[in-house]
Amino acid sequence: MCGILCWKGTIDDELLNRVKSRGSTCFDTRVSSSQVHCLSSVLSLRPPLTPQPVVKNDKIVMYNGELYNIGEGCDTVAFSEALFNTPSVISALQNIKGEYAFAFVDGNTIWFGRDCIGRRSLVYRIDGENFVISSVTDHVMDTEEQGWIQCVGGVVYELDVVTVSISEHLWGYKDDETNPNLIYPYREVSNDVIELENHVISEYATQFKQLLADALSVRTVGYEQISILFSGGIDCALLARLADINLPPSVSIQLVNVAFQNPRVGEEYETPDRVLGRNTFEELKALSQYGRMIFSEVNVPYEETLSHRETVQSLMYPSTSVMDLSIAVAFYFASKACSSNVVISGLGADELFGGYSRIVQSLTRGYDAVAESLQVEFSRLHVRNLGRDDRVICHHGKEARYPFLDEDVVAWATACPVNLKLSGSRDEDTKFLLREVARSVGLDSVTFQKKRAIQFGARSAKMEIGSGKVKGHEVFK
């Protein structure tokens, strides 16, 4: 895990410290011939340690991410060499599989951006002749708008250092009439509908179970412990069960369940997610061959939430809504309690397999409408969730990884018949295929449970007396 900071002009200590907090193992600064300052902070999650920035002649790479198609080599070296040795940055990026953000200084040109799904944070700010590209912002509450822009997932940016002008190179779908520079490694969400015969359902479930297990394994290989953000719902329960089945017996699995003291609600920490989490943990524990799961109850007093709120608001910026804050604060405290630097998240399951009530509502207009709704949900993950979550979780020196957002998983899921995702309008019809996979690995009770969004399940939303009518899309004050 790394922090990226690339700038011309001046920066303040707050930004420098935030970037450094993302990588405590080492950090270094280089200056290019075009007087661009390049700083990387590195948290070494597994050997060998590769210091950054990576420099070759007058080219400098700052990289944060994980690659999954390079074999046994070091991904930082592989990513850097791919850019150093190519006549076309665009062609090099087309062949890279993984979750990353980067900045690449090549003379008077800076290439920067996030992977096509947007699984790592990157923001930028331009001020006249000066600019900053960074993993995080230096936003301070109660100040004027500071001009930070979140890089769009699915866009590679090309910055001319002399004119301080930006060109955008877009990812697009294979048959897109706009002629994109880069082709997504997956299709748009299919609107195909099939007959739901038992043998067909079983075949699809078997295929997906293997893909998801592979995506989880490649993100956890070589670690003695992993932490899973655990609400007790089907997405995280399935990941926990697959981890227990497939990871080496020596690997411990921490299930991190967060609950907030909310003055508007009684029962202190007996939140919906705490109750569901305990029940699901008992089911997982009974199924486990190794008895290696640890259920970690993270209780956050109201006063502690208040004391950290300004920090969370600053970290999540440029996300600014009330809902963003209630989600970000949950991930902030959950990741802080994670014993492992590698944090597994079930993000992407709802967007790919129809877990939201608004997707269920679209079924009244037919399965074409469901497919369109799923496409919208998936396409805005980079702006709604991923950048915000990365900035908050990495503040504690932890790195979120998303098995449901593995490129191969996404390619399979977007091609999957839509009625295998939403088979009807009942709660148990949502994420239909995931429930089938869960049953196939012994998870029964969780397949019938209704899951709340984290801000309601953990009760991190609407904490103040009188805030009950505040809307999630409103900007926090």
What residue numbers does the annotated binding site for ATP cover?
229, 265, 345-346
Residue 2 annotated as catalytic: yes
Which structure tokens are listed for 41?
A: 């902070």
> Is the CB of residue 188 less than 8 Å from the CB of residue 154?
no
- Residue 34 has which token pair? 């075009």
Amino acid identity of 213? A
Cα–Cα distance for residue pair 319/115, rounded to 1 Å? 19
Task: Give the distance from CA 473 to its chain's centroid.
Answer: 20
Binding-site residues sit at 229, 265, 345-346
Please count the other Cβ atoms lying within 10 Å of the Cβ belonging to residue 281: 20
Torsion of CA 82, 88, 93, 94, to 10 degrees: -120
Angle, CA 53 vertex, CA 50 and CA 54 arms, to 5°: 70
Q: Where in 95-175 does DSSP place strands (E)?
A: 98-106, 109-114, 123-127, 130-134, 149-150, 155-160, 165-172
Q: How many helices (H) and strands (E) does the chain have?
A: 16, 18
- Apex CA 97: angle with CA 192 and CA 434, to 5°? 40
Give the pairing of strands 225-229 and 109-114: unpaired
- In Å, how far are 123, 262, 288, 328 from 308, measured between CA atoms? 23, 15, 37, 11
E strands within 231-357? Answer: 252-260, 293-300, 342-344
Q: Which of 107, 113, 32, 118 is nearest to 79 (CA)?
A: 113
Q: Produce one character per residue of 367-401: b if its CB has 16 or more CB atoms within 10 Å, e if not.
A: bebbbbbbbebbbebbbbbbbbbbbbbbbbbbbbb
> Which of 325, 331, 326, 381 shows the shortest CA–CA distance to 351?
381
Q: How many CB atoms lie within 10 A of CB 237?
A: 30
Q: Report helix, strand or coil for 343.
A: strand
* Catalytic (active-site) positions: 2
